[in-house]
Structure 1
Amino acid sequence: MPMQAPRRNALTPDALQMMDIIARTGSFAAAARELGRVPSALTYSVRQLEDALDVLLFDRSSRQAQLTAAGQELLDEGRRLLAEMDAVANRVRRVSTGWESELTVAVDDVISRLTVFELVEGFYAQRTPDGQAPGTRLRVRSEVLAGLWEALVSGQADLAIGAMMNTPPQTGIELKPLGEVEFVFAMAPHHPLAQVGEPLSDAQILAHRAVAVADSAQRLSPVTVNLLPGQDVFTVPSMGAKIEALMRCLGVGFVPEPQVREALRLGRLVARRVQRARQPSLFGYAWRSAATPQPRKAPQGLALQWWLQQLDSPATRRALLERHLGLPAEAV
């Protein structure tokens, strides 16, 4: 461990910049002129760096500043480190103006990915008053049912889009509605239940396998929706996978009508009425309120404010629930 300290101490930003200038100018003399130093002082600094790292950085047999393999590696990594230092400095400066260093948006499987990516494009197009990008690192994560709440409550997400409104939010969580989504009971056109009369009873449905999307919650109690006690269940990781399973006649289940609209139109799926009354599901979006302690960042930063402003638009909220691609990726 003591041997590592001199090496770390030698790799200063000035030393890395010196290597970059020598390589760029092609000679110690030219680099010394650019740095405002005498060539002998520059040569001494290089030798000190070589002694600290215990490697040769330049080929002394060449009249030019010819890098060795070790010198080239240090140059490449040094340039990368200098760029990262500049990026960190820029992010710190932007955070001081109110932009978060990172923002995580958790999105439920019922939400339009097309619209989410359009919002991401809009976010990255933002500019600060000095014409720079905000510098906020954006993360989008996919969650299902209670997993969405868990990501928000645990601090793993700053904004949750597609939260079910049937559970009152915890203290310190703000919640607003997105809108309603109608779910239809769907199956492949050649499924046995597609051949019987409507409405379908629970007894008829119970005799057939259901397809369900797994709740992504790890600590909170998973939510089970529209499954009958004792029913055989095939569990899949996403709504797209569920729709694919339905089209392959692997089971039956309730799915958001906007996400299967094209499959229904093409006859890849059929919808059947059921005896159990089912109201449209109400979804919302939620975020940690400004009063909630957030050790990772200042609350209600400009990045979160931008997303909340977009969600204030009725057209955006409608698009998040309605604008889906025709068929799931698994079916293309």
Structure 2
Amino acid sequence: MSKKNPISIEVLETLDSIDRRGSFAKAAEELNKATSAVSYSVQKLEEQLDIALFQRQGRRSVLTPAGKLILEEGRHILDHAAQLANRAKEVATGWETHIRIAVEFMLPAPTFFAVVQQFLENHPTIEIDITESVLNGGWEALEEERVDLIVGAPGPVPQQKGYRAIALPSTELVPVIAAKHPKAQWANNKKALQAELPKLRRVVTHDTSTSGITRSGGLGSEGKILYVQTLEQKVEAIVAGIGIGHLPLQKIQPYLDQGVLLTLVLPEVHPVKEYMAWKLANKGRGLRALTEQLAAADWQ
């Protein structure tokens, strides 16, 4: 008969909590256990493995190299155990416990979060996990099953991937420059602007795709560039006068009204076609309910 493995899910949760909280006492509080029970659990594992898992550094309990190894690998086990429990519950009830969404925030964020708020009111046991995607990043995350749903991903829709895609209202993009920018006086002078354009720094959002072919949009990525991670950062960088770029009209209308940003006299850019998409193989009832609410939302 094989010897029982002393590394249980419970003890891994204990190690994880001690590492994150920095002490046995705080871990005990998080786990709703007595500090003595937490200490005993660790001591028992150390005795069974004949190794030290923690060492004291001032007031903190810090993992030894062996303890780090166990916890790093153990966290993968904890993640898989949680996923297994969620999948079992979904199979039994048809309702997910967790929905992962990648959002491209060219679309109106208040509308999106209003739908999420209403959905969670009706389904309080479902956990929503939201990440921000840019350009091809959302499609890649969906293909690799890192998310269950993408909202606001730009077209075209990848073909033969087994996706269900619903078109959302297009986003109108406008090229802008800050009124404080040194070259702002050329904003409405088409001839002078064309001459100055190659010298102006572009503010570009990183495509969050990591393994596919990345792309950029708007004014392009030639010449001097400031790369940013999110659309919000791009707005703030342009407002600060660092560079120029295309931004969604609905997000910057107040800045235009106040004269903080100026529209550049450049060729018109076609509105960006955006989509909501998920895999047809995903039959979760929660996902179906959420996508129905998002499709019915007023995105204007």
Q: Does the 8 Å contact 1:213/1:236 carry over to 2?
A: yes
Instruction: Give 2:102's aligned residue.
Output: 106
Q: Residue 70 in 1 paired to residue 40 in 2?
A: no
CA RMSD of aligned residues (A): 3.4
Distance 1:72 1:125, change over 3 A: same
The DSSP-based 3-state class of the residue aligned with 2:278 is strand
- Unpaired segments ≥5 residues, structure 1: 12-66, 76-84, 128-132, 291-298, 323-332
Instruction: Give 1:142's aligned residue.
Output: 132
The DSSP-based 3-state class of the residue aligned with 1:104 is strand
Alpha-carbon distance between aligned partners in 2 of 1:221 and 1:90, rounded to the nearest angstrom: 33
Instruction: Give 2:170's aligned residue.
Output: 180
The DSSP-based 3-state class of the residue aligned with 1:216 is coil
Amino acid at match of 1:70: S
Instruction: Give 2:277's aligned residue.
Output: 286
Alpha-carbon distance between aligned partners in 2 of 1:240 and 1:116, rounded to the nearest angstrom: 16
The DSSP-based 3-state class of the residue aligned with 2:243 is coil
Instruction: Give 1:233's aligned residue.
Output: 225
Say which one has the larger Rg.
1
Instruction: Give 2:261's aligned residue.
Output: 269
Amino acid at match of 2:289: W
Alpha-carbon distance between aligned partners in 1 of 2:218 and 2:6, rounded to the nearest angstrom: 62
Alignment of 1:56-135 (within 5 A): 70-71=36-37, 92-93=88-89, 95-127=91-123, 133=124, 135=125
Deviation at 1:265, TM superposition (A): 1.4
Q: Does the 8 Å contact 1:206/1:228 carry over to 2?
A: no
Q: Does the 8 Å contact 2:140/2:212 carry over to 1?
A: yes
Q: Does the 8 Å contact 1:187/1:270 carry over to 2?
A: yes
Distance 1:68 1:198, change over 3 A: closer
Alpha-carbon distance between aligned partners in 2 of 1:68 and 1:153, rounded to the nearest angstrom: 45
Deviation at 1:95, TM superposition (A): 4.4
Deviation at 1:225, TM superposition (A): 1.3
Alpha-carbon distance between aligned partners in 2 of 1:149 and 1:90, rounded to the nearest angstrom: 24
Instruction: Give 1:23's aligned residue.
Output: none
Alpha-carbon distance between aligned partners in 1 of 2:145 and 2:241, rounded to the nearest angstrom: 39
Deviation at 1:303, TM superposition (A): 0.9
Q: Residue 310 in 1 paired to residue 276 in 2?
A: no
TM-score by length of 1: 0.62
Deviations 1:74-100 (Å, cap 9, x if unpaired)?
Answer: 79xxxxxxxxx9xx9798446412102
Amino acid at match of 1:280: P
Instruction: Give 1:49's aligned residue.
Output: none
What is the number of equivalent residue pairs in this alignment?
A: 237
The DSSP-based 3-state class of the residue aligned with 1:283 is strand
The DSSP-based 3-state class of the residue aligned with 1:225 is coil
Deviation at 1:311, TM superposition (A): 2.2
Deviations 1:23-59 (Å, cap 9, x if unpaired)?
Answer: xxxxxxxxxxxxxxxxxxxxxxxxxxxxxxxxxxxxx
Alpha-carbon distance between aligned partners in 2 of 1:210 and 1:258, rounded to the nearest angstrom: 20
Distance 1:178 1:195, change over 3 A: same
Amino acid at match of 1:183: L
Deviations 1:252-291 (Å, cap 9, x if unpaired)?
Answer: 11111111111111222111221x331111111111113x
Distance 1:237 1:304, change over 3 A: same
TM-score by length of 2: 0.68
Deviation at 1:120, TM superposition (A): 2.3
Alpha-carbon distance between aligned partners in 1 of 2:7 and 2:280, rounded to the nearest angstrom: 42
Q: Once the two structures are aligned, what percentage of the paired residues are identical?
A: 25
Alpha-carbon distance between aligned partners in 2 of 1:267 and 1:172, rounded to the nearest angstrom: 46
Distance 1:270 1:229, change over 3 A: closer
Within the candidate set 235, 247, 268, 1:243 is matched to 235
